[in-house]
Amino acid sequence: MSQHIIYSNQVDATLSAVIEGGNYHNVAVLVDQNTRQHVLPMLASSLEKAMVIEIPAGDEHKTLNSLISVWEALESCGATRQSLLVNLGGGMVTDLGGLAAATFKRGIACVNVPTTLLGAVDAAVGGKTGINFMGLKNEIGTFAPARHVIISTCFFSTLRHEDILSGYAEMLKHAILNSCHEFTALLDQDLNATDSDHLLERLKASVKLKEDIVNKDPTEQGLRKALNLGHTVGHALESHALETGSPVAHGYAVAWGLVVETVLSHMILGFPSDDLYALASFVKQNYGAPSVTCEHYDRLIALMRHDKKSAAGEINCTLLRQCGEPTINNKIDVDSLQSALDIMRDLLGV
Ligand code: GLY
């Protein structure tokens, strides 16, 4: 997978160099209302001549209609195969913009400039693009890496604490997949007192872990499935929250999903209980608990059966023998899942 990741807090100058180096016919930049207002003005020099395409903010707008509006805007600004699309925003913008770029005229170049921690650590890196469809997250999409990803912490100062936590959940996932050392370092962090230099160092380590996995298995035939840890249950909790009119941030659902899947790891593979309790305590303290009761289990399980990772209606999860030792393609039976959801609710005090 050819994707060049650049860490820079001089984003305007870095993006200018990337644009000049690419010899593009013209440049368009995809933003949402928030990044248009707060971030685009910080890139006045590099994007001075770019055509601005705006879509509404929020995962509920990660839709076919928004995708069509981006195609239409690219068409009307005279974009060609040699045009560049800069995706300036969180995961919703980089996922949808990546799909727009991958499909417009069978594919034009794009550069991702993630503006959230969640986007920087996960969505903008690794080439997955997508939109939600028929109530399912990222149901339509491609593997199409952005040519460059420019990662900076300078945009994070305007993020809400909740947005930092949302990205931190993906960092926890990378860490627990990697080693006890990295996992413990993240759990020991006081998230109310994180300085941006320290965060950048941890972020680089986290992105590097993802890159290592993606480079070995870009299209998720095997190893990359490890990155789905926490997501079979997490996506179901997220979709369920959306359906019941109380949407939750993706990273919160992932944090709760990590707890459930670590409980399953303990039950099925003997994952150490001390590490499970340490994770659950951190999640309880920082993310609280999902609003689910046992009456919601049937719907959650139905959502898990529809997950892209599941085949023939079976529920499939990545689990862990211990920190740093994931196993992919574990089929989970409904009884075990219900028990794990019960235990998660006990651990998080629902
Ligand atoms: N978000 C998981 C992956 O990129 O594979």
Classify strands 109-114 and 136-140 as parallel, antiparallel or unpaired. Answer: unpaired
- The closest-lying atom of ligand 1 relative to the alpha carbon of residue 214 is 5
Q: Are residues 242 and 304 in the same domain?
A: yes
Q: Are residues 177 and 235 in the same domain?
A: yes
What separation in Å is there between the alpha carbon of 271 and the centre of ligand 1?
A: 23
What separation in Å is there between the alpha carbon of 126 and the centre of ligand 1?
A: 7
Q: Are residues 198 and 141 in the same domain?
A: no
Task: Quote the domain boundaries for residue 88.
Answer: 4-158
If one counts the domains in the chain, the total is 2
Q: Are residues 135 and 229 in the same domain?
A: no
What separation in Å is there between the alpha carbon of 195 and the centre of ligand 1?
A: 26
Give me the pLDDT at residue 311, please: 73
- The closest-lying atom of ligand 1 relative to the alpha carbon of residue 127 is 4
- The closest-lying atom of ligand 1 relative to the alpha carbon of residue 122 is 1
- Per-residue pLDDT tens digits for 177-214: 999 999 999 999 887 776 777 788 889 999 999 999 99
Ligand 1 pocket: which of 122, 170, 215, 216 to mutate (most atoms <8 Å of CB)?
122
Q: Are residues 139 and 177 in the same domain?
A: no
- Which of 100, 132, 158 represents a domain boundary (last residue)? 158
Give me the pLDDT at residue 1, please: 57
What separation in Å is there between the alpha carbon of 228 and the centre of ligand 1?
A: 6
Q: Are residues 256 and 338 in the same domain?
A: yes
Domain of 185, CATH number, reads 1.20.1090.10
Show the ligand 1 pocket: residues with CB < 6 angstroms. 122, 126, 128, 224, 227
Q: Do the Cβ atoms of 109 and 152 come closer than 8 Å?
A: no
**Atom 5 of ligand 1, residue of closest alpha carbon:** 227
Q: Are residues 141 and 42 in the same domain?
A: yes
Domain of 83, CATH number, reads 3.40.50.1970
- The closest-lying atom of ligand 1 relative to the alpha carbon of residue 213 is 5
Task: Give me the long-range contacts of 274-283 (CB less than 8 A, separation at least 24).
Answer: 275/176, 275/180, 275/183, 275/322, 275/323, 277/347, 278/184, 278/187, 279/172, 279/176, 279/187, 280/344, 280/347, 280/348, 282/172, 282/187, 283/255, 283/256, 283/258, 283/259, 283/348
**Atom 2 of ligand 1, residue of closest alpha carbon:** 227
295 burial type by CB count under 10 A (0-12 exposed, 13-18 middle, 19+ buried): exposed
Q: What's the CA gap between 201 and 219, in Å, rounded?
A: 27
Q: Are residues 86 and 198 in the same domain?
A: no
Q: Are residues 109 and 184 in the same domain?
A: no
What separation in Å is there between the alpha carbon of 164 and the centre of ligand 1?
A: 18
What separation in Å is there between the alpha carbon of 80 and the centre of ligand 1?
A: 29
Q: How far is CA 166 from the centre of its chain?
A: 9
Give me the pLDDT at residue 322, please: 98
Q: Are residues 11 and 153 in the same domain?
A: yes
Q: Half-sphere exposure of 331 toward its Cβ, with a 13 Å CA cutoff? A: 5
- Which of 121, 138, 158 represents a domain boundary (last residue)? 158
Q: Are residues 207 and 289 in the same domain?
A: yes
Q: Are residues 172 and 288 in the same domain?
A: yes
Ligand 1 pocket: which of 128, 219, 232 to mutate (most atoms <8 Å of CB)?
128
Q: What's the CA gap between 157 and 159, in Å, rounded?
A: 6
Give me the pLDDT at residue 339, please: 98
Ligand 1 pocket: which of 227, 261, 308 to mutate (most atoms <8 Å of CB)?
227
What separation in Å is there between the alpha carbon of 227 and the centre of ligand 1?
A: 5
- The closest-lying atom of ligand 1 relative to the alpha carbon of residue 220 is 5
Terminal CA-to-CA distance of the chain, rounded, Å?
A: 42
- Which of 158, 186, 214 represents a domain boundary (last residue)? 158
What separation in Å is there between the alpha carbon of 84 and the centre of ligand 1?
A: 24
Q: Do the Cβ atoms of 254 and 169 come closer than 8 Å?
A: yes
Segments of the chain scoring below 70 in pLDDT: 1-2, 194, 350
